Amino acid sequence: MKFALFLGCNIPARLTQYESSARAVLENLDVELVDIKEFNCCGYPLRNIDFKASILASARNLALSEKENLPILILCKCGFGMLKHAAHILKEDTTLRNEINTTLKKEGLEYKEGVEIKHLLSVLYHDIGIDTIKEKVTRPFKDLKIATHYGCHALRPSEIVQFDDPVNPTLFDNLVESTGAESIYWEKRLDCCGAPLTGVNDDLSMDLTKKKILNASQSGANYLCDACSYCHLQFDTVQKMIYSEGGEDHLLPAILYPQLLGLSMGIDRDTLGLVKNQIDITGIEGFLSD
């Protein structure tokens, strides 16, 4: 199994543990990753400002992986949603596709048939499968309750992203449970993390984050698990900012899914970048069975 790994902007700059843990887990599952140095911004942050610029940025990435004849594996949900949306629009709107291709041709690129765009979680669930993952889980968690956070742009708009059932998704819960942890039910599990408004309307963004964390915590979770760079920075870095104002550090630490899975596979904490999270998550190792 071979994919072009799309990291986006946030992960190499401020979330290197997501990359290192994802690589380690995928390597353990015999997935080959190819790095395309020329990948650029997925286009998501530009969509508010200029639709066509965002599609152009997306399309360039799609064209680059098409050139290598590789499906894209993406770690970020917002980037996943954006690439999916761009692929959808470029398929529907031939005029736009031609315009975009005219620009891309200046550097010898073209977007033609389309490439498969997959989020890390879809690859793990559909291409590898829960059973194979379970075979690799050597130290399953015990008595660990996880609040599984799906992330908006993976679930919706469902007709475009086609990730899982948008109302009652189970994919991520199953992946979390494959590590031996329990994925609890919590009311706000499908809500937005608040990240899209960080830097735009912090009060609102933090309010939404706080409500989610509170709900997850009150539902009995020990940790929150996510698989998106924006969501994770929100639940980690921004959560720390929220609670440090009140003198505390956090309410509910967040762990990236490949960190969680990696621990249960016996991958060492340095590779998984456990200490790189802003909020201390090393306590989770106490839930690992011996």
Partner 1 sequence: MFYYISLYISLAIFIIGLIYKIYTWLSHKIGVDSKDIPTSKRLSSALKGIILTIFGSKILTLINVFFLDIILQRKVFNEDFFRWLTHILIYVAFMLLLFMHALDTFITSAIFPNYSATLNPFLFLRDLFGALVIIGVCMAIYRRFILRPPRLKTNSMDTYAIIILAVIMLSGIILEGTKIGSYSIYKSMVTDYAGLEEGEEEFKALTAFWVDKFGTISPDLKAPFEATLLEEGKELHEMSCSGCHSRPQWAFIGYPVAKAFKGAALGLDKGGIHTLLWYIHFLACFIGLAYLPFSKFLHIITSPLSLLANSVMDKKGSDPANIATRQALELDACTHCGACTSRCSVGIIVEEIENINILPSEKIQSIKALVSKKQTDETKFRLILDGTYLCTNCHRCTDVCPAGINLEDLWFSAREDMFQKDYPEFSVLSPLSFYRGLMRENIPQSDYDRPLIQAREAIASKYDLMKSPDKAVTLTPDNKELQGGLLLSDQAATFSACFGCQTCTNVCPVVAAYENPKEVLGMLPHQIMYATGLGIKDLAFGSQMLWDCLTCYQCQEQCPQGVKVTDVLYELKNLAIKNAESNVESVTG
- 3-class state of residue 117 by DSSP: strand
Determine the length of the chain: 290
User: Cα 58 from chain centroid?
Assistant: 17
Distance CA 127, CA 219 (A): 32
Q: How far is the CB of 180 from partner 1 (least distance, A)?
A: 31
Given 1, 32, 34, 40, the residue binding partner 1 (CB under 8 A): 40
Q: Does 53 bind partner 1 (CB under 8 A)?
A: yes
Q: Does 162 bind partner 1 (CB under 8 A)?
A: no
Distance CA 256, CA 10 (A): 14
Q: How far is the CB of 79 from partner 1 (least distance, A)?
A: 11
Among residues 165, 158, 154, 147, which one has the least CA distance to residue 255? 147
Given 69, 199, 246, 290, the residue binding partner 1 (CB under 8 A): 199
Residue with tokens 């990696």: 262
Q: Which stretch binds partner 1 (CB under 8 A): 6-14, 116-124, 130-138, 260-268?
A: 6-14
Site for partner 1 in 55-84 (CB under 8 A): 56-57, 60, 78
In the chain, the amino acid numbered 233 is L
Over the range 132-146, which residues count as b (16 or more CB within 10 Å of their CB) and which as e? ebeebbebbbeebbb
**Pairing state of beta strands 72-74 and 223-226?**
unpaired
Q: Does 93 bind partner 1 (CB under 8 A)?
A: yes
Q: Does 9 bind partner 1 (CB under 8 A)?
A: yes
- 30 or 38: whose CB is closer to partner 1? 38
Q: Does 232 bind partner 1 (CB under 8 A)?
A: no
Q: Does 214 bind partner 1 (CB under 8 A)?
A: no
Helices 257-264 and 16-28, axial angle in degrees (round to 10) = 40
Q: Does 191 bind partner 1 (CB under 8 A)?
A: yes
Do the Cβ atoms of 278 and 236 come closer than 8 Å? Answer: yes
Given 238, 260, 261, 274, the residue binding partner 1 (CB under 8 A): 238
* Contacts with partner 1, residue ranges (CB under 8 A): 8-10, 12-14, 37, 40-41, 44-53, 56-57, 60, 78, 89, 92-93, 96, 103, 106-107, 152-153, 155-158, 166, 191-192, 194-202, 204-205, 207-208, 230, 233, 237-238, 241
